[in-house]
């Protein structure tokens, strides 16, 4: 039972991992496992100690928020860098510009084929005209 360590030291109380030390009231109590953080009526966050005596819950929450925020920002920056790198690599290796060039080549091939067909049709028509003397 954690209550037997009340009015003793934080170190003695926290030897048992199920115990929570409240520095302001010098009480040792069972950690409220159904809740993530101990309620304020049980012990204030700045006075609550669990696991180690030198870190209170308030500092732990602030530190975890800073670390979590930093990780989220770093992840976002990495994603942005990867996306930008992909875009620039795609442009260098022939992304949209290469597609434009390919489309232009296709248009030119179609135009050349069309001109060849026109010339062929014109020569056929000229032959027919000569044959029947309509020239």
CA 43, CA 31: separation in Å to the nearest integer? 11
**Mean pLDDT of the region 96-110:** 84
Tell me the sheet residues that pair with 28.
Answer: 21
Residue 89 predicted with pLDDT over 70: no
Measured CA distances, 129 to 11, 66, 120, 132, 133 (Å): 114, 89, 14, 5, 6
pLDDT per residue over 30-77, tens digit each? 988 888 888 888 889 899 998 889 988 888 889 999 999 999 999 999
Domain boundaries, the chain: 3-55, 94-134
Question: 12 by DSSP, 3-state: which?
Answer: helix
CA 52, CA 105: separation in Å to the nearest integer? 72
DSSP 9: -
HSE-CB at 124 with a 13 A cutoff on CA atoms is 6
Residue 90 predicted with pLDDT over 70: no
């Amino acid at each position: 039972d954690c209550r037997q360590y009340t009015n003793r030291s934080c170190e003695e109380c926290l030897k048992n991992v199920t115990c929570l030390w409240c520095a302001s009231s010098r009480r040792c109590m069972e950690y409220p496992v159904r809740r993530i953080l101990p309620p304020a009526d049980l012990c204030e966050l700045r006075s609550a100690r669990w696991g180690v005596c030198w870190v209170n819950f308030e500092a732990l929450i602030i530190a975890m928020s800073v670390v979590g925020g930093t990780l989220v920002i770093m992840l976002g920056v990495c994603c942005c860098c990867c996306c930008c790198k992909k875009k620039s690599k795609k442009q260098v290796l022939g992304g949209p510009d290469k597609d434009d060039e390919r489309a232009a080549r296709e248009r030119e091939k179609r135009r050349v084929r069309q001109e060849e067909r026109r010339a062929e049709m014109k020569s056929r028509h000229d032959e027919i005209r000569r044959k029947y003397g309509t020239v």
